[in-house]
Chain A
Amino acid sequence: MNEHEPLIRAEGLTRTFRVEESLEGLLGSFKNLFSTRHRLITAVNNVSFDIHRGEFVGYVGENGAGKSTTIKMLTGILTPTAGRVEVADIVPYEDRAANAFNIGVVFGQRTQLWWDLPVRDSFDLLRSIYRVPDDLFTRNYRELAEALHLEPLLTLPVRKLSLGQRMRCDLAAALLHGPKILFLDEPTIGLDLIAKDKMRAMLRRINQTRGVTIILTTHDMDDIEALCGRIMIIDKGSIAYDGSTERLKREHVRHKALEVEFHDYNPEVVAIPALKLLRREGNKQWLRYDPKAGTMHEVISALFRDYCVKDLSIHEPKVEDIVKAIYEQGAAPKAGAAPVHA
């Protein structure tokens, strides 16, 4: 495989699900007995992207946007309804086993460890499943045990571990066979702040020192800001943004937000064209500033002139706000399209 060719290539990836619609009420349940109405849900809609060796990609979207469905197609668990995907030159759903040797997978909501076995025994089973040569296994095992501070956990059965501990073990389990690519589906979900930070530090190291290509899904923007050089936003099954996290920030950085506190009141509307209401709370309003409609100087002068302002601060936009703005606009024109301006 050519060094410069993409490691993962998805073209027009689409997956629909047929779901039964059940009617409500007593009469409805009788009707359900005789006829079932079906509805098609397009979970992933014509999604295309290339991912290169060594990238750390954040795959972002709200609940139900289609993140897990995409990951399942990339890992060979699901067959796409249409489109094609190649992961390290293998079509995952056609050759699930061959693909499995190349990838590691962590699903935040469930563990791949054996519930009633000590962690160490699960690792031993994985070693046989992936036929990891002894020397490689020993090296990976020591390295991971040290980096993820697994020593005290190794003899415990998985069911006795806390969520954070279990995630660390699951991460190690996904890396024992030295995969080229690591898929993480909401790996930080449910973790407390300290556990999240540890997990992020670990992922950064895996990406940088081992050169593992990582695709991480999340709806936590802090994960993305901390880790991902590239962000892909999926909204209702379609790609709404695909580009570097830097570019996303840069292109939206001028859309600062003003946090304004008023004296003893909160006006219905702030009638300044460059400002758009984001949120209000007590005597405060958060307003998005649009530089095209006036300079910051004009806007602030008008504010102090026309309103009784007690306090004011200016915020740089967070990735979270930018992504929200993209959602509000709805899905982007086309998959793999240029960034959307909020």
Chain B
Amino acid sequence: MRDAAGEAAQVPGVAWPLVGALPPGARVYAKFAIRSFQKQLAYKFEYFVGVFNGLLFIFIFTSLWRAIYANLESPPAAFDLEGITAFAVFAMIVRISMTQDDMSTVGKIRSGAIALDMVKPMSYFGMMLSECLGQTMFHWFTRVIPVLAVSLLAFDAALPRAWENWALLAIAWPLGYLIMFMVNYLFALLAFWFIETFSFHLMKYGLFTIFAGGIVPVDFFPEWLKPLIESLPFMYILYTPTALFTGHIAGADALRLILLQGAWAVALGMACTVMWRAAQRKLVVQGG
């Protein structure tokens, strides 16, 4: 599409052969994902730190479980030592594979920049999800793969052989990812109603850290707490994909968890729609 004169007026858009094959309505979301992927390239230092942090945490948690198990008379019914270290490794890798930027919507609401996203004919949810996916794809290359490779060599973790585990992961990971995205999204939208949302986020991080199963698997919580954990969305984010992938949960129980994930995804999806509508009614855009 270069001008005969080679002027700068050449029209952009030729660099996207794959995107061009998509239907027009979907192109924009693919582009958002790619842009967001590219944007990450600017933060080189950060992904080295990310890999280092991931490995450090895996080292700490596996060492911790070893120390704990060494002092036990008999291992608990839920996990033997090998099981719990494998769980710790993969829970951390799943966690890294789901890294999401949950503050950009809050920033846009605060600054009023969201007004400009609202005068465009597109779904804000779709735009944010695509950006998030682009970022995640980037983390897959720069963090998940290196951390996984080192873990397989350095910590006694092995990838499951059975195809069922991989199939379950292929369903549970996207659902977990979507649930996490929507929980973040709902919390971010609170900024439309409240000027100060820090305490909400603190609460979210707390609940996530404790109940998502990334540090302590749900099995180790006391019985009386389990109904609460099961009625919150957090355990379906990290615990479920990790438990299904490592084979800790299989068969009918695995299917039950996937159905629950699906139900949560649908419920949260509806909540996002309702809350976005309410936000639009309420919308108070800051500044001129």
Contacts and interface: CB of A to CB of B under 8 A. Distances in A.
Bind each other: yes
A114 interface: yes
B185 to A, nearest CB: 18
Contacts of A77: 115, 118-119, 283, 285
A121 B39 contact: no
A175 interface: no
Contacts of A108: 288
Contact of B121 (A78, A111, A120, A129): A129
A130 B121 contact: yes
B24 interface: yes
Interface stretch (B27-35, B48-56, B147-155): B27-35
Given A77-B119, A100-B119, A107-B116, A68 B288 contact: yes
A120 B24 contact: no
B32 to A, nearest CB: 7
B9 interface: yes
Contacts of B12: 120-121, 123-124, 127
B288 A93 contact: no
Given A107-B288, A141-B9, A146-B9, A116 B118 contact: no
B283 A97 contact: no
Contacts of B251: none
B288 A125 contact: no
Interface in B7-46: 7-9, 11-13, 24-25, 27-28, 31-32, 35, 39, 42
Q: How large is the interface on B (under 10, 10 to 19, 20 to 34, 35 or more residues)?
A: 20 to 34
Contact of B25 (A75, A131, A142): A131
A109 B118 contact: no
A145 B288 contact: no
Interface string B266-288: 00000000000000110111011
A155 interface: yes
B113 interface: yes
B146 interface: no
Interface residues of A, number: 48
Contact of B27 (A76, A78, A109, A128): A128
B8 A154 contact: yes
A114 B115 contact: no
Interface in A138-165: 138, 141-142, 145-146, 151-152, 154-155
Q: Which among A76, A77, A109, A141 has the highest number of chain B CB atoms within 10 Å?
A: A77
Nearest to A131: B24
A117 interface: yes
B31 A124 contact: yes
A78 B281 CA distance: 7
Contacts of A78: 283, 285
Nearest to B118: A77
B32 A72 contact: no
Given A93-B280, A109-B287, A125 B35 contact: yes
B288 A79 contact: no
Q: Which 8 residue pairs are nearest across A and B when measured between Cβ atoms?
A: A128-B28, A100-B121, A124-B12, A97-B121, A151-B8, A112-B116, A120-B12, A128-B27
Given A121-B12, A128-B24, 11 more contacts: A76-B118, A97-B121, A103-B119, A110-B115, A111-B116, A117-B35, A121-B35, A127-B12, A129-B121, A131-B28, A154-B8
Interface of B: 1, 7-9, 11-13, 24-25, 27-28, 31-32, 35, 39, 42, 111-113, 115-116, 118-122, 280-281, 283-285, 287-288
5 contacts: A72-B115, A111-B116, A112-B116, A129-B122, A138-B1
